[in-house]
Structure 1
């Protein structure tokens, strides 16, 4: 299973998102620290989930980071997160 697929599966199972986008942006970081030629090192996640209702932005990021701890300790060098609740304006 690819790193992207593991990220999608983990977040889908735990947070039941209304919307989830997982983008591999590794190609934008070629030659930078942590980049590998085969990619799957730098990701951007945009997620809308009711699980985030009432949570601060920091707490949302902590939750996503905790869920993806194994990936962040291994193949993933960087993770950009846009996590919002369904009722928020400016949803991703």
Structure 2
């Protein structure tokens, strides 16, 4: 109740910018916590790191010219809108 009015009510709009009186990193816990914590939490985080590491060693990502990054939406995962990228084969370090 100190952070969100009616904390037991289903209200996805509470994650919209400006709807919380205080923004703190612990307000959004994507994999849950305690006895309801996601079984795949550790695996998912490890897999995300492995995929990101593989991508940055193979490709160079740049914003597509003339595009803007849109607002990021919070659901079960972060969903950026309007994130247009161009991938080019990365040059090998010497």
| TM superposition score normalised by structure 2 | 0.22
> Quick one: higher RCO (CA 8 Å, sep 6+), 1 or 2?
1
| TM superposition score normalised by structure 1 | 0.22
The structure whose residues are more often helix, as a share, is 1
